[in-house]
């Protein structure tokens, strides 16, 4: 049996790793080992419970008042011990987190091959997003098998001198989205809907998320002021699950609290969030995952970032880069609410991030690359 070690630490990583873990676990020739660093412990555990995945290793690296030095060193040392204990044939990392970088570096130090899921994303601004852009560039230098979501991501790697072992497979986040919505539908459980009883779904719903550190301060305040003006200008329901970071909590509560049609919620569990995305008329976000998921639901995305590594959605027309400019955000939302042709144009474009079979494509490649005993 070939031993495959899957390393993840945040909720987005877990969401995108779950389809792979399930797909490889269905083949008896693979021994699947999963390791959670616990970089986002509570939010991460909820996703794993929803999909029925139990990690073999839970490292719990997060401590109070840590900085990037602490998290990186703790992940690196703990993952080293897991690799030495399990002796995997291949280590999978996903995306651009500190967990992913530390996992790839630890595997490299232990001379274990690395497979990078969602490889090749680039904003071409080393400080935005921070530190993710540098993480993903460094991971690419440590990786043996590059699984990219799109041709643009492949081109990014080629332009950096990486030309071998690149496969365009789509993004596993779409696999998880469809899997999660099927679980919700098959359960026929109305508990999720009942959690949003204060929201009038007969009106157009605008879903808002925000958490990027490069937006903290004045830029974030401008976004909040724009949302406030939109709530006053239009008869819509604005739903905002507020990130727990104090740099998000403070401006959001100061500017948006007490507005009747603005619903400030605690962070949502994954099934609640994808259900709410499906009900939304449009989404305002700085999230990378949402930029990838929403097009599969036919929901336009306004991206509150100055640059994005998810350029495919912008080029295709699923997403619009609006930055943190108050007037531009208001104008863009107004256009989508009033101009039906603008709205339809953004909803009818095929999702450039795939059709929901990325995990199967990855497994087909690995079966050929690790052929012994298959």
Considering 70, 125, 200, 213, which one is annotated as catalytic? Answer: 213
Considering 13, 132, 221, 293, which one is annotated as catalytic? Answer: 132
Distance CA 228, CA 247 (A): 18
Residue 237: its H or E element: strand 237-241
Distance CA 356, CA 19 (A): 10
Check if the beta carbon of residue 146 is closer than 8 Å to that of residue 119: yes
Give the residue among 204, 295, 208 at the shortest CA–CA distance from 251. 208
Check if the beta carbon of residue 51 is closer than 8 Å to that of residue 23: no
Distance CA 210, CA 249 (A): 10
Considering 13, 118, 293, 312, which one is annotated as catalytic? Answer: 118
Other C-beta atoms within 10 Å of 63: how many? 9
Strands, E assignment, 69-210: 90-94, 113-117, 145-148, 166-168, 205-208
| 315 catalytic per annotation | no
In sequence order, what are the beta bridge partners of 116? 93, 146
Give the residue among 36, 42, 39, 40 at the shortest CA–CA distance from 54. 36
258: left (phi over 0), alpha (psi -120 to 50) or beta: left
Tokens of 276: 């709410």
φ and ψ at residue 204, rounded to 5 degrees: -70, 130
| 243 catalytic per annotation | yes
| Cα Rg of the chain, angstroms | 20
| 124 catalytic per annotation | no
Check if the beta carbon of residue 311 is closer than 8 Å to that of residue 149: no
| 132 catalytic per annotation | yes
Distance CA 13, CA 40 (A): 10
Inter-residue long-range contacts of 155-161, CB under 8 Å, 24+ positions, other chains counted: 155/120, 156/120, 156/121, 156/122, 157/119, 157/120
Considering 11, 13, 96, 212, which one is annotated as catalytic? Answer: 96
β-strands 237-241, 301-303: how paired? unpaired
Considering 80, 225, 243, 281, which one is annotated as catalytic? Answer: 243
Which residues does the annotation mark as catalytic? 96, 118, 132, 211, 213, 243
């Amino acid at each position: 049996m070939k031993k495959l070690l899957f390393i993840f630490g945040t909720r987005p990583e877990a969401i995108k790793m779950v389809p792979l873990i399930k797909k490889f676990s269905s083949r008896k020739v693979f021994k699947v080992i999963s390791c959670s660093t616990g970089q986002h412990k509570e939010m991460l555990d909820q996703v794993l419970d929803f999909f029925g995945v139990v990690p073999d290793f839970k490292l719990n690296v997060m401590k109070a008042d840590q900085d990037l030095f602490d998290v990186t060193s703790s992940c690196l040392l703990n993952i080293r011990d897991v690799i030495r204990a399990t002796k995997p044939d291949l280590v999978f990392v996903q995306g651009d987190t500190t967990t992913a970088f530390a996992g790839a570096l630890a595997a490299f130090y232990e001379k274990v091959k690395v497979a990078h899921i969602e490889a090749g994303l680039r904003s071409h601004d080393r400080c935005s997003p921070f530190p993710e852009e540098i993480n993903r560039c460094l991971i690419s230098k440590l990786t043996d098998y590059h699984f990219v979501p799109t041709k643009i991501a492949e081109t990014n790697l080629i332009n950096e001198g990486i030309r071998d072992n690149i496969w365009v497979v789509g993004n596993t986040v779409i696999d998880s989205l469809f899997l999660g919505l099927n679980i919700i539908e098959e359960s026929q459980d109305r508990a999720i809907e009942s959690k949003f009883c204060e929201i009038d779904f007969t009106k157009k719903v605008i879903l808002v998320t925000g958490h990027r550190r490069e937006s903290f301060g004045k830029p974030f305040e401008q976004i909040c002021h724009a949302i406030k003006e939109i709530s006053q200008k239009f008869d819509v329901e604005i739903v905002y699950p507020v990130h727990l970071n104090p740099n998000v909590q403070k401006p959001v509560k100061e500017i948006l609290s007490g507005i009747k049609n603005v619903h400030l919620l605690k962070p949502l569990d994954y099934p609640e969030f994808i259900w709410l995305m499906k009900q939304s008329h449009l989404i305002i976000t700085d999230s990378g995952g949402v930029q990838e998921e929403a097009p599969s639901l036919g929901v336009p995305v306004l991206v509150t970032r100055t640059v994005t590594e998810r350029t495919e959605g912008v080029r295709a027309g699923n997403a619009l880069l609006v930055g943190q400019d108050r007037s531009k955000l208001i104008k863009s939302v107004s256009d989508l609410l009033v101009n039906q042709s603008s709205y339809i144009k953004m909803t009818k474009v095929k999702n450039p991030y795939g059709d929901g079979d990325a995990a199967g494509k990855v497994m087909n490649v690995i079966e050929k690359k690790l052929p012994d005993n298959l």
